[in-house]
Amino acid sequence: MGELEEIVGYIAKAGVYLIFAFLIIGSVLLFIEGKGDGRSLQEISSPHSAFNTSEISASIISGISKGDPISFISLGLMILIAIPVIWIVTGIIKYALERNKVYTIVSLIVLFDLLFAIFVIPYLVK
């Protein structure tokens, strides 16, 4: 089972490098251009802004191909969120293969809670 943890470790390291790269590229582009996703830097950074990151996710790939700073930052944040999900799924696989029912069930509950927080709660808070 050590091989599975090793693979997850490599994924985590690669993820950290990708997150760092996308956040730095996006931040530098944002400050150079002074805008992102058609909005000014002041509008994006204002605490009273109507800017909503849930509207961006569908356009990330096209935004990156156009050099949009917000798309780079959004992809970095999506990778940041995906890494713990990968860890939990790996734990579920590991515990299931070990036939450890308690940890498998606890990990499934944690995964459900995390996915609920990512996909459901933002729509309830609107």
Residues 68-85 pLDDT 10s: 898 899 899 889 989 999
pLDDT of residue 52: 63
**pLDDT tens digits, residue range 20-35?**
999 999 999 998 988 8
What is the chain's mean pLDDT, rounded?
A: 87
Q: How many CA atoms lie within 13 A of 35 on its CB side?
A: 4
Q: How far apart are CA 72 and CA 112, in angstroms?
A: 28
Q: How far apart are CA 98 and CA 28, in angstroms?
A: 46
**Segment 28-55 mean pLDDT:** 77
**If 0-12 CB within 10 Å is exposed, 13-18 middle and 19+ buried, where does residue 18 land?**
middle
This prediction has a pTM of 0.76
Q: Give 103 or 46, the one with higher predicted confidence.
A: 103
Within 10 A of 54 (CB to CB), how many other CB atoms are there?
Answer: 9
Q: How far is CA 95 from CA 10, 63, 78, 85, 111, in A?
A: 20, 39, 26, 15, 14
